[in-house]
Amino acid sequence: MNATPSLRTVSTTPVMMPRARVFAAYLQEVRSECLRYLRNPGFLLPTLLFPTVFYLMFGVLLARNSGADAARYLLAAYSTFGVMAPGLFGFGVSLALERDTGLLTLKRALPMPPAAYLIGKMAMAMLVAAIVAVLLLALAVLVAHVPLSVQQVLHLFVIELLGVLPFCALGLLLGTLIKGQGAPGLINMVYLPMAFASGLWFPLAGLPKFLQQIAPAWPSYHLNQLALSAVGLNHASGLPHVLVLCAFTAGFLWLSTRRLRRNG
The residue among 16 and 146 whose pLDDT is bigger is 146
Q: Which segments of the chain does DSSP mark as H helices, in order?
A: 19-38, 41-54, 70-87, 94-101, 103-109, 116-138, 150-177, 183-197, 209-214, 219-230, 239-263
DSSP letter assigned to residue 205:
G
Q: Which of 190, 203, 201, 248 is nearest to 222 (CA)?
A: 248
Give how far Cα 139 sits from Cα of 83, 103, 249, Å.
16, 39, 30
The predicted structure's pLDDT at residue 7: 46
Instruction: Report pLDDT digits (tens) over 165-175.
Output: 999 999 999 98
The predicted structure's pLDDT at residue 16: 64
> For residue 19, is pLDDT > 80?
no
Residue 242 — φ and ψ, nearest 5°? -65, -45
d(CA 261, CA 122): 19
The burial of 211, by beta-carbon neighbours within 10 Å (0-12 exposed, 13-18 middle, 19 or more buried), is given as middle
**Total Cβ atoms within 10 A of residue 191:** 23
Spatial CB neighbours of 91, under 8 Å, sequence gap ≥ 6: 121, 125, 167, 168, 169, 170, 171, 172, 174, 175
Mean pLDDT value across residues 44-57: 90
207 by DSSP, 3-state: which? coil
d(CA 64, CA 60): 7
d(CA 179, CA 96): 5
Calculate the CA 15 to chain-centre distance: 35
d(CA 176, CA 264): 8
Calculate the CA 37 to chain-centre distance: 14
The residue among 160 and 42 whose pLDDT is bigger is 160
Instruction: Report pLDDT digits (tens) over 220-235.
Output: 999 999 999 999 888 8
Mean pLDDT value across residues 103-116: 74
18 by DSSP, 3-state: which? coil
Q: Which of 79, 89, 98 is nearest to 43 (CA)?
A: 89
Average pLDDT, the chain: 85
What does pTM read for this prediction?
0.86
Give 26-33 contacts, CB < 8 A, sequence gap 24+. 26/113, 26/115, 26/116, 26/119, 26/120, 29/112, 29/116, 29/117, 29/119, 29/120, 30/119, 30/120, 30/123, 30/124, 32/120, 33/120, 33/121, 33/123, 33/124
